Amino acid sequence: MKTPSSIKKVWNIVSTVLVAIVVIMAVLLMGARIVGLNVYNVVSGSMTPVYNVGDLIYVKSVDPATLKAGDDVTFILNEDLVVATHRVVSVDTEKQHIYTKGIANKDADKAPVHFKNVIGTPVFKIPVLGYVSNWVQNPPGLYITVFGGAVLLIAVFLPDLIKGKAKKPDEDENEALRKEIEQLRSRLEANEAAEETVTE
């Protein structure tokens, strides 16, 4: 049978691991923006096997004029602000158009990408993490994530708060005992001094 102290140690380890996972996920999903990277989920197989469905790609800004055939480019696909990543087939700097193709697609994209719609170029990817990103950003995953985060914070900090409140009365009692001991000591010393005076 586990003792309260061993259960506490296990819980401390579990809570530390959970908090570490949450922090790592937050950095991977949101922290990249701090260093100027945009993060996108791959939701179609048009760039398989380079980028597979469920991958999370990290995209850095780029000057569209510097792109060349063979580069991968992330861009706004249409008026609905759908984002796509395809391979550059050619670049027309005069018209400011980039012609693209999904490497898994048979034909090139019908409409060129205007320079102003270019977001950037992918620098690296993390497989499968796109599924997680998509889940936590949309209901019900969003609600579950927020609720789970709140429960985790409460579970991590509440025991310390309760412990702190529980300690306060003990500290008050200890202080009262100290005062009583000091008073007793003072009385003893006074009695001893009185006795010495009488003896003399």
Residue 192 vs residue 199, higher pLDDT: 192
Residue 122, φ and ψ in degrees, nearest 5: -65, 140
Say whether both 118 and 46 belong to one domain.
yes
For residue 7, the surrounding DSSP H or E stretch is helix 4-29
Residues 123 and 176 in one domain: no
The answer to whether residues 112 and 40 belong to one domain is: yes
Residues 48 and 27 reside in one and the same domain: no
- Among 91, 111, 129, the domain boundary falls at 129
Quote the number of domains for the chain.
3
Last residue of a domain, one of 94, 129, 164: 129
Residue 7 lies in a domain: yes
Write the CB contacts of 127 (distance below 8 Å, at least 6 apart in sequence): 52, 54, 55
Per the domain annotation, does 102 fall within a domain? yes
Do 84 and 74 contact (CB within 8 A), yes or no?
yes
Residue 173 has pLDDT above 70, yes or no: no
Q: Considering only 103-107, 137-141, 160-164, which range has the smallest mean pLDDT?
A: 160-164
Residue 103 shares a structural domain with residue 183: no
| Residue 84, both tokens | 């796509």
DSSP 90: E
What does the pLDDT average to over 148-167? 67
Are residues 85 and 148 located together in one domain of the fold? no
Residue 138: what pLDDT?
Answer: 75
Strand boundaries in the chain, DSSP class E: 37-41, 56-60, 72-76, 83-92, 97-101, 113-114, 118-126
Q: Which residue has the tokens 């991590």?
A: 156
Same domain, 184 and 148: yes
Residue 134, in any domain of the structure:
no
Are residue 97 and residue 162 in the same domain, yes or no?
no
The mean pLDDT of 20-39, rounded to a whole number, is: 77
Whether residue 170 has pLDDT greater than 60: no
Q: Are residues 108 and 46 in the same domain?
A: yes
Same domain, yes or no: 119 and 97: yes
pLDDT (tens digit per residue) in 49-102: 999 999 999 999 999 999 999 999 999 998 888 999 999 999 999 999 999 999
89 and 27: one domain? Answer: no
Q: Work out the mean pLDDT of the chain and round it to a whole number.
A: 82
Domain end call among 129, 158, 186 = 129
The reply to whether 67 and 78 lie within a common domain is: yes
Provide the edge-to-edge strand list for the sheet that holds 56-60: 37-41, 56-60, 118-126, 72-76, 83-92, 97-101, 113-114
What residue numbers bound the domain in which 92 lies?
36-129
Look at residue 70 and tell me if it is in a domain: yes
